[in-house]
Structure 1
């Protein structure tokens, strides 16, 4: 995880060119923690990530392609929730042994960039409750500081999908988990959904909270001297909301 070399490249799919070599693309770095889950590096995902990384992509397209990735993350996150058996009867009178989710869920976005992921969760889970946590860097100490939180009163009884598109050093995400723990949410009931992570941030988070599962689309090369994710995609909140 601490390797600073470039992420590996791989060939993408069997049918991308009628002639010549298959196209190659940089794929996510590998992880060594069992609680970090990276989305399959499919041609579709890499194409979507390429669009939102490109500095030429306008705001409307950035939002559209980001939302597609967010939907993939939410769907994968839901796969990690427990289910129980449920037998139903179909319209033709036959029995079917299926499953249903065990317990209630909610989303918690780390403001403001995390709010961009709320609609993707609502698209998959009807009437889902969503809480918010605002964490900003203290200018004097350069450390994350909690400014605001508004969470469902029964959050300790729910499975929590924590939402934040970028995981750089991990300071804000770590503090957000501490807030949830103080509200009585067990670590193993928290899933952190994230578009792009640095290896340093993912490593730090996974070691600090080994029972919290991270579902990310991509683990990048690393952090630069300013702790920006590289190659990254810039400031996600600015590109989603203002540019």
Structure 2
């Protein structure tokens, strides 16, 4: 079951919530954090890919010929917001190995909390693909909004956003800037603290994934 709040979908599946608790725990080691992130991303991928366009094709089972359902249209584009987005990307890509992959490099200026772009490379033909943007944390929403701005300029017009955790401030920011982009997350947390981190949250996802400070 998923709880829907307008354009926000919170996936409350027991396995998702259990794995998220493991990731929140500050005692969870880096290797376990990475593995569980990969597992939870695959569970969330089921929800965010709901409603993909389908068609039918003729196949032959061991028993008989049939018209069987299959995905339609151009392959998906998965876009990771570097660097933490790569943790979600790995799991989703394992589930959808034929997807095309792109990267948006943004870092947050710790004084202004505004995103600064340093890299942008995405697949061709975004206008003909469903584009799934992945980033573990939707905090202020500034980086996510900036990434989606860039993707729309590159032609994308069918975009979904996948994250582990969202803060109310980030959800509002995204809805104001990109009301056409649905968000799928495992949890809507309480708020942002005075330095722009989600609380209760799970800390800095990139640092916990890669063992950095």
Determine if the TM-score, normalized by the shorter chain, exceeds 0.5: yes
Residue of structure 2 in register with 1:8 after alignment: none
Aligned CA distance change for structure 1 residues 140 and 46 (closer, same or farther; 3 Å): closer
Residue of structure 2 in register with 1:216 after alignment: 185
CA shift at 1:217, angstroms?
Answer: 1.1
Aligned pair count reads 211
The partner residue of 1:104 within 65, 70, 75 is: 75
Structure 2: 5+ residue runs without aligned partners?
A: none
Alpha-carbon separation, structure 2, partners of 1:50 and 1:140: 30
Question: What SS does the aligned partner of 2:62 have?
Answer: coil
Structure 1: 5+ residue runs without aligned partners?
A: 1-27
Indicate the RMSD between aligned Cα atoms, in angstroms: 2.0
Aligned CA distance change for structure 1 residues 90 and 37 (closer, same or farther; 3 Å): same
Question: What SS does the aligned partner of 1:104 have?
Answer: coil
Residue of structure 2 in register with 1:38 after alignment: 10
Aligned CA distance change for structure 1 residues 141 and 166 (closer, same or farther; 3 Å): closer
Aligned CA distance change for structure 1 residues 128 and 44 (closer, same or farther; 3 Å): same
Aligned CA distance change for structure 1 residues 31 and 157 (closer, same or farther; 3 Å): closer
Instruction: Give 1 or 2 for the bigger CA radius of gyration.
Output: 1
Alpha-carbon separation, structure 2, partners of 1:152 and 1:99: 22
The partner residue of 1:90 within 44, 61, 79 is: 61
1:47 and 2:18 equivalent? yes
CA shift at 1:53, angstroms?
Answer: 0.4
CA shift at 1:94, angstroms?
Answer: 4.1
Alpha-carbon separation, structure 2, partners of 1:131 and 1:45: 26
1:226 and 2:195 equivalent? yes
1:176 and 2:147 equivalent? yes
The partner residue of 1:198 within 167, 174, 182 is: 167
1:122 and 2:122 equivalent? no
CA shift at 1:103, angstroms?
Answer: 2.8
